[in-house]
Every structure is written in C-alpha cells, then in structure tokens.
Amino acid sequence: MSPGGHAITTVVAGAAAAWIHPSLPLTIGIVAGGFLIDVDHAVDYVLVNRQTDLRPSAFLRYYLEGQPRYLVLALHSYELFALLIALAWSLHSSLLGGYVVGGLMHLVLDIIFNGEFLPDRILAFYSFGYRAARRFRSVALHGQGPRARAPESFWRGFFAGARREDRKT
C-alpha cells in the first residue's frame, strides 16, 4: 500500500478507536503501529542500502520502483508481532496493544495491496526468517517479478503508489 494510503487508514483507525474507546495510549499506539512502522524503510535506505540522497522524493521513488538491494524491514515481521502480542498481553499495555493493532492493520494492507508485485510469495515475505534465509537480498525475495514505475509527482506517488510497468495505466 502507498504511504498515503497507510496515513489515511491510520487516521481513520485512530479516530475510530478514540471515539469507540477513548484512551490516549491506545490511540497513540494505533497511530504508531499503522504509520510509523514504516520507519524501518528509512533505516534500510540509509544504513543497509547506503543511500545518501535524503530528499523525500528520492526515498519514495527508490521504494516505489523496487530499487533496494536489501530488504531487512525489521518492523514488518510476523515474528516481531508475535513477541509484541505476548509482551502487550503480559504487561496489560494499551499503548503496546494499540501498536500491535495498528501494525497488524498495516501488514494486512501491505499483503493485500503489494500482492501484485509478489504474487507467489507475499505471505512469506512478511516473515523475518524468510527474508533472513535469503540474506535480505531483494532479487532473492522479489525474483523476476513485474517492475514498478513511480508517478512523476511526489504527492501522486505518496497517495497512489507505484504501477506495474506491464500494465496499462
């Protein structure tokens, strides 16, 4: 899913949570899990893939067009969420519970909307162990799947995401 799509769904989920069960820690957790989970893309961009162009447009194009050589994405993993669920449950933490809810919403949306780029491996991709077994190499994770093209406009890319190159738009 596009970053803008995550932002919109996160705002809606946070507002719904605040209206249904007014709890600031729960709402903050949902917002953090729904949108800020993507901070791992920035970590991969700078530390793992050694990119130095810190302009938001360069960062967005880099990911929308599938350019990363490595995809660690530590926060996008079933294994982490299993640990966080156990921790939230044992600590009775509404903040951490909200993060889990928001983060799982984020993962489900990624699975649904990013499936066209990884049709055979989309469920496996969100396993940290699966990515680690392939040494986090993008080519081993994505294979020779369809290439993506980012829109020229930053905001259009932010909200609409990438389009497959083999598809008419």
pLDDT in tens, 46-93: 999 999 999 999 999 999 988 999 999 999 999 999 999 999 999 999
The per-residue pLDDT of the chain, averaged, comes to: 91
Distance CA 9, CA 69 (A): 29
pLDDT in tens, 27-39: 999 999 999 999 9
Q: What is the pTM of this model?
A: 0.90
- pLDDT at residue number 69: 94
The CA–CA distances, whole Å, from 107 to 80, 103, 111, 112 equal 12, 6, 6, 9
What percentage of residues in the chain have a pLDDT greater than 90? 73
3-class state of residue 87 by DSSP: helix
